[in-house]
Chains A and B, each alone.
Chain A
């Protein structure tokens, strides 16, 4: 293959017909020109194909006429250029297809660069894509021209469509032109804070590309990686870890803060990302946790091993290890984070992707306590049924594992039995595993199985089997004799290879106990006549020489025969003949003196210098002359010293110092870029580095996490459970967060006037819009003034767990640090009030909730943790805390209002209400959109007015209140650059031309959230500044009430059973047992309408989601005492699950 001259190679690639007659190049060209345009219109595939063939002919014809090459490149692709220049997309496309086909065949198409690059801005998406393909392939060669295309991508980076932004970044970063490094850097930085996770993912992909182009950018890139590592979406996680591994695998410290998050996200990450993350976490865990086996290993594992590989070295190691373990035999407690990793990776053993299974297996092998490693065996055995390449890799790893942990695979012994149809390389690996698994109990079955293999037709495999038998014999003393006898029988085998291999193995075995086996040696001596395989002959000669004392009669005779054939022997045999002669000379000089001299003389004139040297050396050493000195005396000792028996051991021994599953492990050599698997540390590093330190922050993340989980119930486990389903470590957080919100809301429900006033002063804004609202609602709720006021007042305490991460990010970016600090200092005041509230609420709620102990406890705990440390730590923390998190969908934070009670009542009594009950409730919770410090005096709040948005029924109306607290006018206030996620739409409010100092304006904007609780992000612009803001709707606001009769309700409910039904048991607190209270709390949590119901103890509500109009049915059934059952039926399971949580929370107060 290799030796084929190029022409011949080309000839073989040619289509059969044309191979014979080399066409003149002109013919090829004309043919192409004539045929292709015709074909192009008729059938495309053949056209592109025939073009290709004609094209191929050229290199063949090339070397002959010089004319062809000189005019060739110019005229060569003229037709293609013409097509590319045409106005028709179809022609362009055709040309691009032919060019891509050329690239695919490895043909050079670089001279078309200018013509192609022009089309980079082409409208046709397929042409565009193919141009990208071309560009990425050739840009490196034509850097100057490639620069022409850059501006297109830069434009693409600003596109409102996330997919276009992503693809622009992808191509831009794939163009390997060093000049654009700064542009790439900027683009990556920008994309890393993009709103779309998909774009951020692309940014992560671009990082290693830039790094390979210019490694000087490392520091900046690490910053980006750090930022992306903090990302909470599964989409990004895999890619950024990949980038981390390529750019800065040594910066393990970047992982600390993200460790738990990565563990928790792992199951939802796409499969390729999982592999990378698991491998990285294995390394991380090795540096951060203590060995889980430090105590038992030396006792159990190594002592069994000693029996088999009993060498002195091993013993010494054992002793040392034992001593070490004795020294610190203190009880080992596994770090909870270590446990978290093991627990979260285990389900992935069930993955359909072999690489994921292998990654988990190696993680368990390297990290798990010995007792738990066993779980991986089953999964690995399953992989053995996959493609043979997969088998090959898995078996290599199993072989390594089975040496360390034999017990693990023993139950699956039979899975490693060999079929005659397996490829040889697989057979040999299986044999390796079988040998590793052999022990005294199963050796008889294994040997019986080996017997079958020995008769196989595959001789390489037979040879390997014989070696395997030899290994079993050395390792298991019990069967040594049986094996030896079996091997001796093989000596009479007809196949020479088998015999030779047996001889070699027998030699090794005999060395262990030579005395008893002179018979075998004799038998082997006879074989020298027949066996031709040099290695086997050499082995026999060595054996006879070594044990010539046991066979004194035969040995000289063998030497005689060998001396005769000496000149025809192979080199290794000759060396052994010399050896034999020397040994015989020393032990039995009388009989062999002449023979020895004869052999040495022959060797003296041998062609091989090695043999000549050896002969000279030995002659000096053994034949006494006057010159030879002291050495002569020791000749016997030198030659006939006791030689230790060889240890037959697996080639896979000690391979486990490479991380299993890695390329390096497979090759048993360090591959480029391999990261060593560190040893366990002796002392565990500080585990607190993984704590995500700021309470507010954790709250936010846990909230976020939960939200994520809820959104994709398919991957994760949150399905059907209302409580936090996160793993142990996050539980306390979510509890505290829950109670945090519950306490603040209960504070508002307790409705103390003082607080309210305080708030009112603080806020100082809400008034105007309130008034408007009031006017509308007045008839309904005159009597309830007081409590109503409480409602808008309470919510936006910035200390509460609100403010989406997006805002933080943007703030980090946009707003300068100083300002941020100022803002936070401003907030300190708030935080204090909020903590006051918290404590106030604590007293009130614990008073009322004495019913359930657990609940009381839950409520009691957090305020102390919140109120206490917060006041002290606030100052220090604020410096590095991102601004407090922001509103969450939880409509649990609600205020009481009797209006709603009444509303509920009227609904129950008069079952006739309008079909769409629009602005049902006046009690609205306000959320902060822009704090006045962050907004430089401009403060913006929003609330969900629960009115249909005029103009578009699919939009949720959001009322926005803007107050100007500066002392200058704010002009042209407007929304700009909404960057909605896919499908989301924003209807902006009309521009506010001018807002005088101290003034407040109220506007309504509509947002179609697409029935998701994703935040809507946009910019709020004034004439001077831009603020990035986002509105995140509570799930209860994504629906509008709908009226239906009891029968209708039942009918609809019947359709929405099974997985669309979410049921949750709860205990109603005392004050929430009245009809009023229940109806009121439910309607506060969500914008739903009451459905009449015959039974007293049942409450029904119905709503439709705003965007898709899916029904959401809520049933609350009161049981004995305080027990109740809440059922939500909705085909939008995500919404259902979240709604259940929110309602339960609301009712719990």
Chain B
């Protein structure tokens, strides 16, 4: 399926290549560079490019292009999803998926790629199995390794691959069991000019990080099932699960029952449809205008909280892509600080916390290129915010049961509501 993989940085250097079948020359990437040039913006490079002998399927992650070479028919999503899995794995291993991290760990990268694909078909993609095969680098270990000459390759052969629960390592032991749930909800919304919300959905994910283990020493436990009860699961319109969740149980009882993988992972993602919607927690008053035949415009934006259930809205950041004609902006912010990048024309206003008593406001003059026609479109405002301890959909983790242990596990649940793709049209 996947024939070769090239990693290319933004300036067009191929800094890593790996072939699973016979070697494909680097020159195949020229087609990619061609498309890249045509696209102008990195985001617009088509993910699938057809060349006379090959097909190139690429993803763009963290300033790196992962370009895979395909020779025969294959579902494109299959490749794309896999490439993202590769990038996730690098992230997981090196803390970041950057060019330097990859170059510094080129051998581990190679070993990982070797394990992840066999003849172009995914073999082991589960992080727990990979970590058993190839230990992630840590400072301590690299020091020890360089002294003792030992290696990062696990000396025990992993058994997880053979088990029915590939996402969990065998014989994981901790002194105490702790399960942390992060319920992170993101609001996607487009708010129209007339302040009618066009649509808004809540997307989110329950992520879980946990420590699992066994205190009875002699017993090797493999199954430590968890049951997670949600308060009002019927809210959820559409759900996707980590493979560890037992689908039947969810279907019949709306209970999440699973054997957790070791470490952080995304347990479920769900969507709450716009029907049973909850109000949007912030509102924006805006006045942006450009005068005809003059080289200036007015800019006035106020952000305020709306029905936030007593929680403070914090981490508010507004970014605006101003029209090309804008030369500079002279603004005053009552709160936070703003920056305007005259090259990319991006205005960023870091507001911070919103206090209802004194609403943050940003106001001032926009300088336009003289002689240029007035921009037709007012820019859209992209807003980010965060509300701690609130799940805006009303979802709650009610109860967490653990089986196979005598004591109550420590359970921590954190709720956060965030802005997802939250856009205000002006």
A residues apposed to B, CB below 8 Å: 1-2, 12-13, 41-45, 48-49, 88-90, 93, 97, 100-101, 103-106, 124-127, 129-130, 132-133, 137, 140, 161-164, 170, 173-174, 176, 196-198, 202, 205-206, 208-209, 212, 234-235, 239, 242, 246, 267-268, 270-272, 275, 279, 347, 350-355, 357-359, 378-379, 381-382, 385, 387-390, 392-394, 414-415, 417, 419-421, 423-425, 449, 452, 455-457, 494-495, 661-664, 666-667, 669, 671-675, 711-717, 719, 982, 1055-1060, 1108-1110, 1131-1133
Contacts and interface: CB of A to CB of B under 8 A. Distances in A.
Contacts of A713: 246
26 contacts: A44-B142, A101-B106, A104-B16, A104-B109, A105-B15, A125-B151, A173-B119, A197-B162, A206-B119, A272-B82, A272-B122, A347-B251, A350-B240, A355-B75, A389-B59, A392-B46, A394-B77, A420-B423, A452-B425, A457-B377, A671-B72, A712-B165, A719-B248, A1108-B220, A1109-B219, A1131-B223
B404 interface: yes
B223 A1132 contact: yes
Contacts of A242: 1, 121
A378 B242 contact: no
B146 A43 contact: yes
B47 A1059 contact: no
Nearest to B133: A129
Interface stretch (B153-161, B305-313, B328-336): B153-161
Given A88-B149, A347-B247, A389-B47, A198 B161 contact: yes
Contacts, number: 308
B42 to A, nearest CB: 9
A1052 to B, nearest CB: 10
Given A125-B153, A354-B77, A382-B238, A12 B16 contact: no
B162 A663 contact: no
Given A104-B110, A664-B73, A982-B162, A1133 B240 contact: no
A662 B37 contact: no
Most buried by B among A88, A355, A455: A355
B16 A270 contact: no
A661 B259 contact: no
**Size bin of chain B's contact surface:** 35 or more
Contact of B106 (A100, A163, A176): A100
Interface in B210-224: 218-221, 223
B157 A663 contact: no
Contact of A414 (B198, B239, B241): B198
Given A44-B146, A424-B41, A382 B118 contact: no
Interface string B40-66: 010110111010000100111100000
Contacts of A49: 103-104
A1133 B225 contact: yes
Given A45-B105, A272-B122, A717-B248, 20 more contacts: A48-B106, A105-B17, A133-B110, A173-B119, A198-B162, A212-B21, A279-B75, A355-B75, A385-B188, A389-B80, A389-B84, A393-B76, A420-B380, A663-B75, A663-B76, A666-B76, A671-B55, A672-B73, A1059-B401, A1131-B221
Contacts of B199: 414-415, 417
Contact of A12 (B13, B36, B158, B403): B13
Contact of B70 (A661, A663, A716): A663
Nearest to A716: B248
Nearest to B265: A352
B72 A176 contact: no
A455 B374 CA distance: 12
Interface stretch (B26-34, B173-181, B296-304, B363-371): B26-34
Contact of B149 (A45, A93, A103): A93
A425 B142 contact: no
Contacts of B423: 419-421
B83 to A, nearest CB: 8
B18 interface: yes
Contacts of A140: 22-23
Contact of B107 (A106, A130, A164, A674): A130
B247 A270 contact: no
A13 B11 CA distance: 10
A492 to B, nearest CB: 12
B153 A126 contact: yes
B227 A714 contact: no
Interface in B149-202: 149, 151-153, 155, 157-159, 161-162, 164-166, 188, 190, 192-193, 198-199, 201
A714 B48 contact: no
B274 A414 contact: yes
A438 to B, nearest CB: 16
B321 interface: yes
A133 to B, nearest CB: 6
B297 to A, nearest CB: 15
B219 A352 contact: no
Contact of B125 (A106, A132, A272, A457): A272
Contacts of A106: 14, 17, 26
Contacts of B159: 982
B118 A170 contact: yes
A422 to B, nearest CB: 9
A456 B376 CA distance: 8
Nearest to A235: B162
A933 to B, nearest CB: 35
Contacts of B21: 176, 212
Contact of B18 (A104, A164, A673, A719): A104
Contacts of B228: none
B356 interface: no
Given A354-B77, A420-B423, A424-B44, A1059 B162 contact: no
Nearest to A359: B75
B262 interface: no
B324 interface: yes
Contacts of B421: 419, 421
Given A423-B43, A663-B70, A124 B23 contact: no
A1099 B38 CA distance: 78
A275 B118 CA distance: 16
Given A124-B151, A129-B153, A350 B241 contact: yes
A672 B77 contact: no
Contacts of B128: none
Given A414-B274, A1058-B401, A456 B377 contact: yes
A455 B146 contact: no
B387 to A, nearest CB: 20
Nearest to A208: B119
A392 B110 CA distance: 29
Given A140-B22, A672-B73, A1059-B403, A711 B164 contact: yes
Most buried by A among B162, B266, B379, B425: B162
B203 A100 contact: no
Nearest to B320: A420
Contacts of A100: 106-107, 110
Most buried by A among B41, B201, B247: B247
Nearest to A128: B153
B282 interface: no
Nearest to B239: A350
B373 interface: yes
Given A270-B166, A1060-B403, A419 B190 contact: yes
A42 B221 contact: no
Contacts of B258: 714
A173 B36 CA distance: 36
A672 B71 contact: yes
Contact of B74 (A162, A390, A417, A663): A663
B153 A423 contact: no
Contact of B48 (A246, A353, A663): A663
B386 interface: no
B406 interface: yes
Given A104-B18, A424-B44, A1109-B219, A715 B164 contact: yes
Given A44-B145, A414-B274, A1059-B227, A393 B77 contact: yes
